[in-house]
Amino acid sequence: MLARAVNGPSYRGVSVSGTRVNVADIELALNRLWDALHAEGQAEHGVTRACMSNVIIACLTEEQAHDVSNRIPRLVERHPARVFLLTACAPQGNSIEAEVSAHCRRTGDSKQLCSEHVDIRFDPAVVERLGSVLRPLLIGDLPTALWWASNQPPPLSDGLFDTLAELADQVIYDSVGWPNPAEGVRAMTRWVMGESRPVFNLAWRYLKPWRRILAQVLDPRVAPGALQNINSIRIEHGPHALPMAWLLIGWLAARLQWKPQKGEVRSGSEVGWAFQTPQGALRVHIHRASEGMAQVRKLNLDWQGAVPGRAGFLYGDDHWLSLLPEESTLPAASIPAREVPMEMMIAAQLAHRSKDPLFEQSIAVAQIMAGVLGKRSAR
C-alpha cells in the first residue's frame, strides 16, 4: 500500500467505483491504511492520527483538483484534518470513485503525525448522492468546513454547492477569478447574511494590507478630516479582481456610512458609482487593467474640508503597498504586502470559526453595487 512521498510518506488504499458507493468499503480502506501506517511505524517510533476537523474541498475541473492536491500536504501540516477532495469528472455511467491516502510528517521526536485524505471523483449526474456518501465518513464531534476551490460561482454548480454546504459548519470560498462576479457576489451575499455558520471570502484576506495602510495613513491624527470628507475615489485592479475592489469600497462605506445610489458601465473595463455620504456626494471609479496580477493595484482618493488633500497608493510588483509622494499631500508610507500561499490562508481560517461582522457589512455594500450593475459589470 506504500505509494510515494509528498512531504512525508503517502499511503494509498483501495479504489471503490460503480453506480453505488459502498461506504463500508471506504471505511475498510481507511482502517487498512492505518494498519499499514502502524506496521510501518513499529520499526521506527510510532504513528499518530492527527485530526482537528473534516475539510471538504470541491473542484469542478481536473486542473483545479491537481493544484489543490499539491497544496493539501502543507494545509494539513498547519491544520491536521480528514480531507475529502471532490473532483467532477467526465460522465462515466453515474459513477463515484474513491481512493484513500495519508499525509505524514515527522515531529522532533521522530514520531509521525498523519492525516487522512479521501479522493473522490464523481460524475456530475450523481451530485445529489454525494451527501449520503460523505455524511457517514465525517468524523463525529469535529467541525466540518467546505472549501469551495472552484473559480465558478456556487450558483452555477448545478446543486453541488448546496449539497456540500449542508454538511459544513463553515464555508470558505474565493471570488477572485469568477467569470461573472456580479452574479456570484449576489448569490454568496445571501449565504453570508442568511446563515448562522461562518461564510468567508479569501478576497477579504487579500485586502488586509489595503485596510491596514488606509487606516494608518488616513488616521485622524495624520490626516485630520480626510476620512469624513472624501469626495472622489479611483481604483485600478487586475483581471478578475473586481470583487476585491467592491469589498474594499464596501469596507470604507460600512465604516463611514456611505450609501450607494447608482452605478453605470462606462466601457468594458470601467464602471462608476455615485454614493451619498453624511457630508455630501462621492464618486467612485473602478478601472480594470488588461493585464497584471489579480489584485487591487492602485487607489487614488481626494478629500475636501478645512484641509483638502489627496493620496495615491500603489501595490507594487515587489509586493509592497506604498503611498506615492508624487500623488499625495501626506508623508510617504509603505507596508509589506507579500502574498501568502492559499493553503496557509485556508489553515488560518479553519482555526477561526466565528462570523466576521465587518466582512458581512462590507459584502452587503458589494452586493448592492453588484445588483446595480447586474450582468454587465466589468471583470
Following DSSP, what letter does each residue of 47-96 receive, concatenated? Answer: EEE--SEEEEEEESSHHHHHHHHHHHHHHHHHS-EEEEEEEE-S--SS-E
Cα 349 from Cα 172, distance rounded (Å): 8
Between 82 and 306, residue with greater pLDDT: 82
Taking all residues of the chain, what is their mean pLDDT, rounded to a whole number? Answer: 84
Determine which helix (DSSP H) or strand (DSSP E) holds 194, and give its type and residue range.
helix 181-194
- Among 37-46, 205-214, 300-309, whose mean pLDDT is lowest? 37-46
**Among 16, 15, 121, residue whose Cα is nearest residue 58:** 121
Last residue of a domain, one of 140, 168, 196: 168
Q: Residue 157's pLDDT is what?
A: 61
- Among 27-41, 127-141, 153-167, 228-242, whose mean pLDDT is lowest? 27-41
Asked if residue 184 is part of any domain, the answer here is no
For 302, phi then psi, to 5°, come to -125, 150
Asked if residue 191 is part of any domain, the answer here is no
Q: Residue 22's pLDDT is what?
A: 57
**Same domain, yes or no: 34 and 123:** yes
Give the range of the structural domain holding residue 281, as residue numbers without chain letter.
206-376
Q: Residue 45's pLDDT is what?
A: 57
**Same domain, yes or no: 364 and 218:** yes
Burial group, residue 357, by CB count within 10 angstroms (0-12, 13-18, 19+): exposed
Last residue of a domain, one of 138, 168, 198: 168
Q: Confidence class of residue 334 from pLDDT cuts 50, 70 and 90?
A: very high
- Residue 377, pLDDT above cutoff 80: no
**Same domain, yes or no: 220 and 149:** no
Between 154 and 244, residue with greater pLDDT: 244
**Among 139, 142, 201, residue whose Cα is nearest residue 176:** 201
> pLDDT digits over 242-282, tens only?
999 999 999 999 999 999 988 888 776 788 999 999 999 99
CA end-to-end span of the chain, whole Å?
47
Q: Tell me the whole-structure pTM to 2 decimals.
A: 0.86
**Same domain, yes or no: 266 and 340:** yes
Q: Confidence class of residue 3 from pLDDT cuts 50, 70 and 90?
A: very low
- Residue 2, pLDDT above cutoff 60: no
> pLDDT digits over 7-61, tens only?
333 333 333 333 234 555 777 777 777 777 667 654 455 677 778 999 999 998 9
Cα 84 from Cα 137, distance rounded (Å): 9
**Count of the separate structural domains present in the chain:** 2
Asked if residue 186 is part of any domain, the answer here is no
Asked if residue 284 is part of any domain, the answer here is yes
- Residue 176, pLDDT above cutoff 70: yes
Cα 379 from Cα 370, distance rounded (Å): 11
Between 46 and 96, residue with greater pLDDT: 96
**Same domain, yes or no: 106 and 213:** no
Asked if residue 42 is part of any domain, the answer here is yes
- Among 35-49, 68-82, 241-255, 330-344, whose mean pLDDT is lowest? 35-49
Asked if residue 100 is part of any domain, the answer here is yes
